Amino acid sequence: QLPEQENLVYFNIKEQRTQFDINRDHTAFWLPGDYDSQEYDYTTSKLTEIRGLMSTAVTPNVSQSPFSDTGVQTALMLKTVDSLYINLHEAALVEYPCMHLELDDNTLIFESHLTPDAIGNKGYMQSPRSTPWRTVIASDNAADILMSRITLNLNEPCTYEDTEWIKPVKYIGVWWEMITGKSSWAYSDLKSIQLGETDFTKIESNGRHAANTTHVKEYLDFAAEHDFDAVLVEGWNQGWEDWFDNSKDYVFDFTSSYPDFDVDVLREYAKSKGVRLMMHHETSGSSRNYERHMDEAYQFMVDNNYNSVKSGYVGNIIPRGETHSGQWMVNHYLYAIKKAAEYKIMVNAHEAVRPTGLCRTYPNLIGNESARGTEYEAFGGNNPDHTTILPFTRLLGGPMDYTPGIFEPDVSQYNPGNGSKVRTTLARQLALYVTMYSPLQMAADLPETYKKHMDAFQFIKDVGIDWDETKVLEAEPGDFITYARKEKGTGHWFVGRTNDEIARTSEISFDFLDADKRYIATIYSDKSDAHYQTNPKAYQINKFVATSKSELSQYCAPGGGYAISLTVADSRRETRGLKKL
Amino acid sequence: QLPEQENLVYFNIKEQRTQFDINRDHTAFWLPGDYDSQEYDYTTSKLTEIRGLMSTAVTPNVSQSPFSDTGVQTALMLKTVDSLYINLHEAALVEYPCMHLELDDNTLIFESHLTPDAIGNKGYMQSPRSTPWRTVIASDNAADILMSRITLNLNEPCTYEDTEWIKPVKYIGVWWEMITGKSSWAYSDLKSIQLGETDFTKIESNGRHAANTTHVKEYLDFAAEHDFDAVLVEGWNQGWEDWFDNSKDYVFDFTSSYPDFDVDVLREYAKSKGVRLMMHHETSGSSRNYERHMDEAYQFMVDNNYNSVKSGYVGNIIPRGETHSGQWMVNHYLYAIKKAAEYKIMVNAHEAVRPTGLCRTYPNLIGNESARGTEYEAFGGNNPDHTTILPFTRLLGGPMDYTPGIFEPDVSQYNPGNGSKVRTTLARQLALYVTMYSPLQMAADLPETYKKHMDAFQFIKDVGIDWDETKVLEAEPGDFITYARKEKGTGHWFVGRTNDEIARTSEISFDFLDADKRYIATIYSDKSDAHYQTNPKAYQINKFVATSKSELSQYCAPGGGYAISLTVADSRRETRGLKKL
Ligand SMILES: [Ca+2]
Ligand SMILES: [Ca+2]
């Protein structure tokens, strides 16, 4: 904390020179340092190799501002030559620019590098003021990094008195069909529209607009049938024709729907089905415009029975010159969360600054993207080891809306023009519900696809989203992670294993289970010939009886993994005929 | 208008190269071109002298960004070597950056120079879009420039259906005592405060805080006694301790009063007196913060019976890198006006971009400052010819809240530490109510001072603020202007003459008066020994009978002028004993 001092009341941060002396040429799991984007694949390399690998690490993105050939992001995961695991991050990023790290690759010292504003300043300060924490987590056990709560705990306790309105959400959404290119967000194919002037009722739909009343009802039906809490609908509101890459200030108003999306009908239909609609506020980075409409937008949600919103900040920030991770936007994101709380609205912000544990203080921040999520599987793919690193990095700051559950890995099945392949096996898609902690979990694929795999879909229906207990069973960044979690209320356990591109065998013990209980273990695993590239859908489902004495040796395909549900067996009859694990 | 074209939908303006080929080395009445400030004295020079005079013309200001040694502002007034009067300006500045002019002093061509944004762009456009008009007004009669309505007429007609709530306002205010330094805006002498955290009820006042309940009641009493519509109160709200020059984002909330300003008591007191309180929203240039609080601030006004607001943008703009005259802020000012209209609130914006006739379309923009106003008389003074130029320049775009009526020209009488002298005679202060057109007129001096000069104050009480007819009787930019205006409703005429630093005699005919009426002419004029520097308070008041045949030869002191009220005499008795003019 910077105390108020006679000559230090208002001041500008020119640079904050926190140094992390790494000393030796350890291995880093790093993302290119960037003021705007975190949506990169991880590069695993020696520290001295960062400079040489930077140009390939910086893959194209819609808004990006890398700042140095040796600049990397936090949370930065390191593994030393003598197998010590070290994590560098920050906590409680409030009213301050986001920190990156810049490596001096001669001395092997990382120095903090703050995000500048439009005129190059790095933080406007009034003392007394606490600056964000800089954290170092170190252990010779990788699992300790995953289990560390230091980032959350360095944040202030919950600031809300009433938190009854904040609840975990399992949802589906009108989303993947647009991400893959099968459908469109936009109602029409116009090149340019003007909100309030373009009369969409006089314009014909392009025929690919997914967010239409009939189609949304199908999603609501599916959600109701399978006990989902909510249905996200993207592309419901006017403005998607020209929202992107035009630096358009007044780009959305967040309350005007396209003519084929009937707000009233869908509100009542959702109510009748006991399912919530989930709001979508894409801002296109136009932060002033969003703030101008925010009260009306949130009120519109309340009036129409929405209680959660996915917000997005795709593209360059307006005001121009500001970036996603500068003090200006850090202030904005928190403003949006606090104001949402006034309306009892939960926020899942995408493309926002990477989280630093603020969800402890503001638990209506139920999710963030702020890293390369599943959407990139339809934009060329994520590295197969991606989900073996994210829990060591991105997830330390808070839950991620990774949107797992893709059952059709061949994107061209939805859009012949899109040759992307989802670079995981189907079994691993299930594992992610356990390995990627979030109180907000999506089943991201299309209902029509789930209907073809109802046996595997059963796991998504069953899996918990709120937990009493968490164990890390196996963990090595870049290679694999196996989690076990006990569901709040039911006492059921769920296990998930994510594996990198190498075939491996997972060896776990079930000693975390209650010693006096018997469980039905349903194992969703890769078949022996499964492979994320050539045979991703080869999964098998087997049932066993499990106790705290059980052990498992489970094959994981390249890019594979497995998921297990362990439900408490109340009677012998339930487990009759099942082998013991 | 730029039509929508296949390859011109969204685009950036890099520069707009409108040229005005002036051709010869004429005389210009110019202000330094500046992205942030218009609060300069005019320099009168040949065009070729601009470069050499620029450094002295750019006097210090709290936020200033001059951009070129030959850059000047519009409206630019020119007088050619053969006595043609030419004015260059723009009209209907909407969603576009403000235009300045840059002189090529070899070719004597002015080229438009747009205000850039934080990253150097000059305008984000979506076709079809109308760009602001560029205007040239020329006449061999200077009065024609003053009478031109081209700037207003190039704006769209009034956009409001109901305008009943927009009314002229004559007001006094808790203001000049702070401007002079006699009193303070701030409640305390703390160096730093935090809104919502600093508990002002536990802090003692500094004893100089003018916006306190008792004192404001005195102003309300005076306003009621002398038929003013409103009392402006500045410094009523928390935040004045550290509002300036700290780039403080959350600087005011516009609803939290200091503990000695009782909103409820004053609301009721003002009501009981039939006087309105006028709101003050100083933003400190923190535009995001203002927009965040705007709805609450306007609602607070409605709830407390305020119907007009003086807003201010002192200091550098936030977002940093933006300036007062760029597209970002041009958008903001209009947003504030439109939103005010939703609450039926009239806006008088200070330090906003120079007006371009928008008050035609949005008549609740009842005033602007946007030039060097009377406040500078307490900051060292304005040039004596200042008010002989403003009507040729600044006022073409809309009314100016010049805040005339200073009766105590020796500022040290209020604040011994302030050696400023108001650089006009008292008689000329009266003339400004007629020469500086505005439906919003302030009597800017202190009630205690007016009480010492109730004979002269009578003119301020009498003078109209809403007019049926306007005549320019004499006009020469930089030297003098004499206006006659007929008050709406009453049929009374008022004459005002402002004079530069040279003693002159004004020669006017009263042929504008109704031929069949007799008028009581009350002439408020400089005594023969009056002088703006040495004897500014030497005024005299004489009454005559006037008709359309009357003529007047009236001496004007250096920095002086005169004001005349011409009230219709209904009977012979009223004019008994008065000489004929
Ligand atoms: Ca690996
Ligand atoms: Ca002169």
Distance of residue B390 Cα from the nearest chain A Cα, in angstroms:
34
**Neighbouring residues of the ion ligand 1, judged by CB less than 5 Å:** A 385, 478-479, 500
Q: What are the Cα distances from residue B387, in Å, to A248, B32, B375, B382, B537? A: 41, 17, 13, 9, 18
* Two structure tokens written together for B190: 């703390």
B window 7-46, beta carbon within 8 A of A: 9-10, 12
Ligand number with the minimum distance to the CA of A479:
1
Question: How is residue B355 annotated by DSSP?
Answer: P
Identify whether the C-beta of residue A539 lies closer than 8 Å to the C-beta of residue A480.
no
B454 touches A: beta carbon within 8 Å: no
B190 touches A: beta carbon within 8 Å: no
Judge: A126–B246 Cβ closer than 8 Å, yes or no: yes
Distance of residue B321 Cα from the nearest chain A Cα, in angstroms:
6
| pLDDT of amino acid B143 | 98
| pLDDT of amino acid B167 | 97
B167 touches A: beta carbon within 8 Å: no
Q: How far apart (Å, rounded) are the C-alpha atoms in residues B291 and B332?
A: 8
Question: Is the preceding peptide bond at B416 cis, omega within 30 degrees of 0?
Answer: no
Judge: A119–B321 Cβ closer than 8 Å, yes or no: yes
Question: How is residue B167 annotated by DSSP?
Answer: -
| pLDDT of amino acid B543 | 97
B146-172 pLDDT per residue, tens: 999 999 999 999 999 999 999 999 999
B-chain CB neighbours of A319 within 8 Å are 118, 319, 321-322, 328
B-chain CB neighbours of A4 within 8 Å are 192
| pLDDT of amino acid B3 | 87
Pick from B4, B192, B320: which is nearest to A118 by CB?
Answer: B320
A-chain CB neighbours of B331 within 8 Å are 249
Render each residue's pLDDT in chain A as its tens digit; 581 residues.
Answer: 888 888 899 999 999 999 999 989 999 999 999 999 999 999 999 999 999 999 999 999 999 999 999 999 999 999 999 999 999 999 999 999 999 999 999 999 999 999 999 999 999 999 999 999 999 999 999 999 999 999 999 999 999 999 999 999 999 999 999 999 999 999 999 999 999 999 999 999 999 999 999 999 999 999 999 999 999 999 999 999 999 999 999 999 999 999 999 999 999 999 999 999 999 999 999 999 999 999 999 999 999 999 999 999 999 999 999 999 999 999 999 999 999 999 999 999 999 999 999 999 999 999 999 999 999 999 999 999 999 999 999 999 999 999 999 999 999 999 999 999 999 999 999 999 999 999 999 999 999 999 999 999 999 999 999 999 999 999 999 999 999 999 999 999 999 999 999 999 999 999 999 999 999 999 999 999 999 999 999 999 999 999 999 999 999 999 999 999 999 998 889 889 999 99
Element containing residue B398 per DSSP (H, E): none
List the single residue in A with minimal CA-CA distance to B251: A126
B window 260-299, beta carbon within 8 A of A: 288, 291-292, 295
Distance of residue A120 Cα from the nearest chain B Cα, in angstroms:
9
Distance of residue B449 Cα from the nearest chain A Cα, in angstroms:
39
Judge: B322–A319 Cβ closer than 8 Å, yes or no: yes
A84-106 pLDDT per residue, tens: 999 999 999 999 999 999 999 99
* Two structure tokens written together for A243: 């929202």
Kind of pairing between the strands at B346-350 and B365-368: parallel
Judge: B248–A118 Cβ closer than 8 Å, yes or no: no
B-chain CB neighbours of A126 within 8 Å are 192, 194, 242, 246, 248
B-chain CB neighbours of A194 within 8 Å are 126
A-chain CB neighbours of B291 within 8 Å are 288, 291-292
Q: Which residues contact B65 (CB under 8 A, 6 or more apart)?
A: B34, B35, B36, B37, B323
Question: How is residue B14 annotated by DSSP?
Answer: -
In three-state secondary structure terms, A150 is helix
B322 touches A: beta carbon within 8 Å: yes
Full DSSP string of A164-177:
TT---EEEEEETHH
Distance of residue A272 Cα from the nearest chain B Cα, in angstroms:
35
Substitution target in A5, A288, A294, A317 with the highest count of B β-carbons within 10 Å is A288
A370-403 pLDDT per residue, tens: 999 999 999 999 999 999 999 999 999 999 999 9
Q: How far apart (Å, rounded) are the C-alpha atoms in residues A18 and A20?
A: 7
CA of B67 to the centre of ligand 1 (A): 56
Residues of A annotated as part of the active site: 375
- The reply to whether B480-580 shares the fold of B169-407+422-443 is no
Judge: B4–A192 Cβ closer than 8 Å, yes or no: yes
Judge: A319–B118 Cβ closer than 8 Å, yes or no: yes
Pick from A191, A322, A328: which is nearest to B9 by CB?
Answer: A191
pLDDT confidence tier of residue B311, bands split at 50, 70 and 90: very high
A153 touches B: beta carbon within 8 Å: no
Q: How far apart (Å, rounded) are the C-alpha atoms in residues B44 and B389?
A: 10
Q: What is the mean pLDDT of chain A?
A: 97
Judge: B249–A124 Cβ closer than 8 Å, yes or no: yes
| pLDDT of amino acid A5 | 87
Full DSSP string of A523-547:
EEEE-TT-BTTTBTT-EEEEEEEE-
Judge: B9–A242 Cβ closer than 8 Å, yes or no: yes
Residue A138: half-sphere exposure toward Cβ, Cα within 13 Å: 9
**pLDDT more than 90, % of chain B:** 97
- Give just the sign of the alpha carbon dihedral B360, B362, B367, B369: negative
B-chain CB neighbours of A320 within 8 Å are 117-119, 121
Give chain A's end-to-end CA distance (angstroms, integer).
Answer: 54
In three-state secondary structure terms, B528 is coil
Judge: A247–B10 Cβ closer than 8 Å, yes or no: yes
Q: What is the mean pLDDT of chain B?
A: 97
Judge: A248–B126 Cβ closer than 8 Å, yes or no: yes
* Two structure tokens written together for A338: 């606090």
* Two structure tokens written together for B532: 């703006």
B247 touches A: beta carbon within 8 Å: yes
A426-483 pLDDT per residue, tens: 999 999 999 999 999 999 999 999 999 999 999 999 999 999 999 999 999 999 999 9
List the single residue in B with minimal CA-CA distance to A332: B288
The CATH number corresponding to A169-407+422-443 among 3.30.300.30, 3.40.50.300, 3.30.465.10, 3.20.20.70 equals: 3.20.20.70
- Over residues B37-51, the mean pLDDT reads 98
Substitution target in B288, B331, B333 with the highest count of A β-carbons within 10 Å is B288
| pLDDT of amino acid B52 | 98
CA of B478 to the centre of ligand 2 (A): 4
Q: Domains of chain A: which residue ranges?
A: 10-147, 169-407+422-443, 480-580
Interface pTM (ipTM) of the complex?
0.96
- Over residues B60-83, the mean pLDDT reads 97
| pLDDT of amino acid A181 | 98
Kind of pairing between the strands at B308-312 and B346-350: parallel
Q: Alpha helices, DSSP H only, in A89-237?
A: 142-147, 150-153, 176-179, 213-225
B209 touches A: beta carbon within 8 Å: no
Identify whether the C-beta of residue A344 lies closer than 8 Å to the C-beta of residue A320.
no
Pick from B242, B292, B321: which is nearest to A291 by CB?
Answer: B292
Pick from A9, A117, A295: which is nearest to B320 by CB?
Answer: A117
| pLDDT of amino acid A197 | 96
Ligand number with the minimum distance to the CA of A385:
1
Identify whether the C-beta of residue A366 lies closer than 8 Å to the C-beta of residue A406.
no
CA of B21 to the centre of ligand 2 (A): 26
The region that residue B204 occupies, defined by phi over 0 for left and psi between -120 and 50 for alpha, beta otherwise, is beta
CATH number given to A480-580: 2.60.40.1180
pLDDT at B23 > cutoff 90: no
CA of B76 to the centre of ligand 2 (A): 16
B428-453 pLDDT per residue, tens: 999 999 999 999 999 999 999 999 99
Q: Which amino acid is at B142?
A: A
CA of A38 to the centre of ligand 1 (A): 21
Q: How far apart (Å, rounded) are the C-alpha atoms in residues B231 and B224?
A: 10
Which candidate in B90, B375, B408, B501 is catalytic?
B375
B-chain CB neighbours of A291 within 8 Å are 288, 291-292
| pLDDT of amino acid B397 | 98
Residue with tokens 């006449």: B139
Strands in A27-30's sheet, in edge-to-edge order, are: A43-46, A27-30, A76-79, A85-91, A133-139
A-chain CB neighbours of B192 within 8 Å are 4, 9-10, 126-127
Substitution target in A13, A14, A125, A126 with the highest count of B β-carbons within 10 Å is A126
CATH number given to A10-147: 2.70.98.10
Judge: B126–A322 Cβ closer than 8 Å, yes or no: no
Ligand number with the minimum distance to the CA of B386:
2
